[in-house]
Amino acid sequence: MKKMIAMVMLAVMAMFALAGCGGGGKTVGSVSTDGSTSMEKVIGALGESFQNETGIRFTYNPTGSGSGIKAVQEGRCDIGLSSRELKKSEQDRGLKATVLAYDGIAVIVNPNNPVSDLGLEKVAQIYRGEITNWSQLGGSNAEIVLIGREAGSGTRDGFESITNTKDGCKYRQELTSTGDVITTVAQNPNAIGYASVASVKDSVKALTINGIAANEANIKDGSYVVQRPFVLVTKGDVKLTEGAQKFFDYITSSAAHGIISAAGVVPAN
């Protein structure tokens, strides 16, 4: 009988231990995020650090900015992730935006492309289809292949807003993730695309714009003009769960600045 009681007590203690390690319900033990694929590196680093420090389970669903905003609106996640500002129509539906960081959008080409610098207006002319051959820019005699993101992408919205090309781009391919854009440009010597600076790899070359490199210092001082915010989206009239609130407070605090900077973006605060 004593052995049975001891076994029951051990089982109860184990249940409490699991609850203390984030194995409980969503209210206390988890935080779910959904949205921008461009924010994967920074939000992944923040989520991993937060989970290690608190034991609260963190999840991230990389669906794109538009989908993440919709997920918050419909109550399918705690915090949405957007690489663009909220539209007035989204704000009117009760959504609230908090800027986490600022990210540069790199204009990328194949490493073998001799072109290294473009003015912002030249970039706009390329994407509007007014400049169609690399020879017009000092490059090879080859047709420019325009690569971009799909409609609803925060990266696309940011790029088209900054370059004043909204609804005017003549894309050859519209891809659904930052990684796909980088891979496609890396494989095509005549391609040009755009991607989050934090996501750029050695497989592509980031152009300087107006002679200014896409790096943290130039994004921070505003001299690199192709940049956009990384935004946390919440419902203004709905209180976050305990776990989600702790995560929100953690990533917007000064303690997270080092992690954000290490991910290649500039902390907002």
Regarding beta strands 79-82 and 227-235, do their DSSP bridges make them parallel or antiparallel, or are they unpaired?
A: antiparallel
Residue 7: per-residue pLDDT? 43
Provide the pLDDT confidence category of residue 28 given band limits of 50, 70 and 90.
low
| Residue 193 tokens, joined | 């695309």
Q: For the whole model, what pTM was predicted?
A: 0.70
Out of 3.20.20.140, 3.90.550.10, 3.40.1050.10, 3.40.190.10, select the CATH number for domain 30-102+229-267: 3.40.190.10
| Residue 135, both tokens | 């020879």
Mean pLDDT to the nearest integer, 26-55:
90
Q: What is the pLDDT of residue 16?
A: 37
pLDDT band at 220 (very low <50, low <70, confident <90, very high): confident
Q: Name the amino acid, one letter, at 197.
A: V
In the chain, the N- to C-terminal Cα span, in Å, equals 61
- pLDDT tens column, 125-161: 999 999 999 999 999 999 999 999 999 898 998 999 9
> Which residue has better confidence, 32 or 12?
32
Asked if pLDDT for residue 46 goes beyond 90, the answer is yes
Reported confidence tier of residue 13, pLDDT bands at 50, 70, 90: very low
Task: Give percent of the chain with pLDDT exceeding 70.
Answer: 90
Residue range(s) in the chain whose domain bears CATH number 3.40.190.10: 30-102+229-267, 108-227
**Tens of pLDDT along 58-77?**
999 999 999 999 999 999 99
pLDDT of residue 22: 35
Q: Which CATH class is domain 108-227?
A: alpha beta
* CB contact at 8 A, 185 and 110: yes
User: Could you count the other beta carbons within 10 Å of the beta carbon of residue 143?
Assistant: 11
Q: How far apart are CA 52 and CA 2, in angstroms?
A: 38
Give residue-wise pLDDT tens across range 159-194: 999 999 998 999 999 999 999 999 999 999 999 999
Band of residue 10 on the pLDDT scale cut at 50, 70, 90 = very low
3-state secondary structure of 174: strand
